[in-house]
């Protein structure tokens, strides 16, 4: 079953076509990498899925529903995390989590926050000011917030960028654990190809808003006759396919 | 809720709700007492100035609460987190308006009590009309707040100066401390287009002549209804435009 179905998606900004007739599906229960060089259209695509940007043409279905008719239902069943979006630093950690739990209509707010705080090992951070957290702690907090509503779909925009290798590795293990234990479908963007090879069941390459290729990472490496996914990325980004 | 967490421990917010209004009350109160001592005819100077000042605080705080609540989420880079949550625009707008109500409630009670203690000024001397006066000012503050929020949505934080400055553009024309007749004839039409003008003119009628300004209240309310409908439509349009242009991520 496809959690996300994108068909003939186009997005024009003034004189630029950021997304050009893009079509792909994301299967339920998978971790799918959305890859491409800077300016490829990854973030724009994710923002259109989240209804933060209105497509020029084409359709996006999430859980078989369209945003214009079922916005609240869709957003209730998914969540989002990005290092470029912050939680208010002048609130305490538990205040941020309580606020967002209520925004998502979570029933037993305290119990849910406590459960996730133990899961992500941030219980001792709950009374602290969000602005005092380290980058790694903020990443765990963002993931905690992203799971408050028990989402079926998680959109993660470069979740390990600016993390040191140790914290990045722990984050990836956490994501694998979330996917395995909670059955969450994850759409993941990253520039770290080793991370993508480790995490993703399938990858989708886009460049200049156009779908270039998609498939299982190991099969793509074989298909392009390259050493690893990083070289496949470079070949596609440089038009050397 | 996210904003109310901050008030007990945020000095700037507490100053905004309590400190600055008290300073204004002291300044205008002392000025009023001084002018009263000058014996300028039969005018009740204290009531005129203090009443105007307190009512003005209701209007400016109402506008400020709406605009600044939105801006804080933009400054904190939290606005996307709000818009990817299953929150309708109407719920977002309602919550910011209710926050404005809470804030001016706190400021209003404080100023009313202190002005009575210091200057024997009773905000309820306007009788039952105090309530519709204040409601009209609250609504107009919301109109201005939503308007500035819509502009900031469309043009980003480069327009945030409006959140703090627009209200002062309105002040000279709202006949806050003087009647509309004191303004040049050519611009009086603009005064009469503002719901706040009728509130301040009505307040002066109660103090100086003792008449009850039912017509002023009805006119103010009628204009407010039109403006609130227009500004809500405007906000929705600005939000739709921002999504088409992909600028929600680039507000700051």
Q: Report if residue B48 sits inside a domain.
A: yes
- pLDDT band for A51, please (50, 70, 90 cuts): very high
Counting beta carbons within 10 angstroms of the beta carbon of residue B156, is it exposed (0 to 12), middle (13 to 18) or buried (19 or more)? middle
**Cα→Cα distances A120→A135, A141, A145, A178, A189, Å:** 14, 8, 11, 10, 21
Between positions 47 and 66 of A, the ones with CB within 8 A of B are: 47, 50-54
For residue range A200-233, what is the model confidence (pLDDT) as tens digits? 999 999 999 999 999 999 998 899 888 888 888 8
Place of tokens 């299982």: A216
Domain-located, residue B2: no
pLDDT band for B178, please (50, 70, 90 cuts).
confident
Mean pLDDT of A143-167: 88
Convert the pLDDT of each residue in B73-86 to its tens digit.
Answer: 888 888 888 888 99
Rounded CA separation B25/B42 (Å) = 23
Whole-prediction pTM: 0.85
- A2-16, A96-110, B102-116, B185-199: range with lowest mean pLDDT: B102-116
Mean pLDDT of A145-161: 90
SS3 B83: helix
Domain that holds residue B82: 7-250
Beta bridge partners of A235: none
Please report which confidence band the pLDDT of residue B28 belongs to, taking 50, 70 and 90 as the band edges: confident
For residue B245, give the nearest of A13, A105, A145 by CB distance: A13
Asked if B249 and A91 come within 8 Å (Cβ–Cβ), the reply is no
**Average pLDDT over every residue of A122-138:** 92
- Give the tokens for residue B233: 């439509």
For residue B190, give both structure tokens: 């603009």
Give the model confidence (pLDDT) of B114-138 as tens digits. Answer: 888 888 888 777 677 788 888 999 9
Q: Is the pLDDT of residue B40 over 70?
A: no
A154 HSE (CA, 13 A, CB side): 31
Over residues A50-54, mean pLDDT: 93
Give residue ranges of B with CB < 8 Å to any A CB: 1-2, 5-6, 10, 72-73, 76-78, 80-88, 240, 243-246, 248-249
In a domain, B228, yes or no: yes
Contacts of B98 (CB under 8 A, 6+ apart): none
In the 8-state DSSP scheme, what is residue A92?
A: B
| Closest residue on chain A to B10 (Cα) | A90
Q: Do A145 and B76 touch (CB under 8 A)?
A: no
Domains along chain A? 1-77+156-241 (3.40.50.300), 82-150 (no CATH)
Q: Which residue has the tokens 């009805």?
A: B218
Which stretches within A147-228 are classed as H helix? 165-182, 193-199, 217-224
Q: Compare B49 and A72 and report the one with higher pLDDT.
A: A72
Look at residue B246 and tell me if it is in a domain: yes
pLDDT > 80? residue B19? no
| Higher-pLDDT residue of B14, A97 | A97
Q: Judge whether B1 lies within some domain.
A: no
Please tell me the total count of domains within chain B: 1
Q: Is the pLDDT of residue A33 over 90?
A: yes
Interface test with B, best of A49, A99, A138 (most B CBs within 10 A): A99
Q: Which of B22-31, B33-42, B178-187 has the lowest mean pLDDT?
A: B33-42
């Amino acid at each position: 079953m496809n959690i996300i179905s994108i068909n003939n998606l186009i997005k024009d900004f003034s004189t630029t076509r950021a997304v050009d007739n893009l079509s792909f599906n994301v299967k339920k229960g998978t971790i799918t990498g959305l890859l491409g060089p800077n300016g490829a259209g990854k973030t724009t695509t994710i923002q259109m899925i989240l209804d933060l940007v209105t497509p020029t043409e084409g359709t996006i279905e999430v859980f078989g529903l369209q945003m214009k008719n079922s916005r609240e239902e869709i957003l209730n069943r998914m969540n989002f995390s990005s290092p470029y979006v912050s939680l208010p630093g002048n609130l305490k950690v538990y205040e941020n989590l309580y606020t967002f739990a209520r925004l998502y209509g979570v029933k037993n707010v305290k119990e849910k926050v406590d459960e996730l705080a133990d899961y992500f090992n941030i219980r001792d951070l709950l009374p602290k000011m969000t602005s005092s957290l380290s980058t790694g702690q903020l990443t765990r907090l963002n993931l905690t917030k992203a799971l408050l509503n028990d989402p079926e779909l998680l959109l993660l925009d470069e979740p390990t960028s600016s993390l040191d290798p140790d914290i990045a590795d722990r984050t990836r293990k956490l994501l694998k654990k979330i996917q395995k234990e909670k059955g969450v479908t994850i759409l993941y963007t990253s520039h770290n190809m080793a991370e993508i090879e480790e995490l993703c069941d399938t990858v989708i390459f886009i460049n200049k808003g156009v779908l270039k290729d998609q498939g299982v990472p190991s099969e793509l490496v074989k298909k392009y006759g390259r050493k690893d996914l990083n070289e496949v990325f470079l070949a596609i980004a440089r038009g050397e396919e | 809720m996210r904003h109310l967490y901050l008030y007990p421990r945020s000095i700037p917010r507490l100053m905004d709700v309590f400190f600055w209004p008290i300073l204004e009350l002291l300044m205008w109160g002392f000025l009023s007492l001084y002018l009263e001592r000058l014996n300028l005819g039969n005018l009740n100077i204290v009531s005129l100035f203090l009443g105007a000042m307190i009512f003005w605080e209701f209007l400016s705080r109402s506008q400020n609460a709406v605009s600044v609540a939105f801006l804080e989420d933009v400054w904190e880079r939290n606005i996307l987190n709000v818009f990817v949550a299953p929150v309708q625009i109407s719920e977002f707008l309602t919550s910011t308006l209710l926050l404005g109500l809470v804030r001016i409630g706190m400021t209003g009670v404080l100023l009313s009590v202190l002005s009575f203690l210091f200057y024997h000024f009773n905000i309820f001397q306007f009788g039952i009309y105090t309530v519709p006066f204040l409601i009209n000012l609250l609504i107009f503050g919301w109109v201005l707040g939503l308007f500035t929020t819509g502009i900031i949505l469309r043009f980003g934080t480069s327009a945030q100066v409006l959140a703090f400055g627009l209200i002062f553009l309105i002040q000279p024309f709202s006949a806050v401390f003087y009647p509309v007749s004191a303004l040049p004839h050519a611009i009086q039409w603009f005064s009469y287009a503002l719901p706040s003008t009728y509130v301040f003119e009505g307040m002066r009628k109660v103090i100086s002549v003792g008449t009850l300004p039912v017509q002023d209240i009805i006119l103010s309310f009628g204009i407010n209804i039109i403006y609130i409908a227009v500004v809500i439509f405007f906000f929705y349009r600005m939000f739709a435009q921002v999504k088409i242009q992909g600028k929600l991520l680039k507000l700051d």
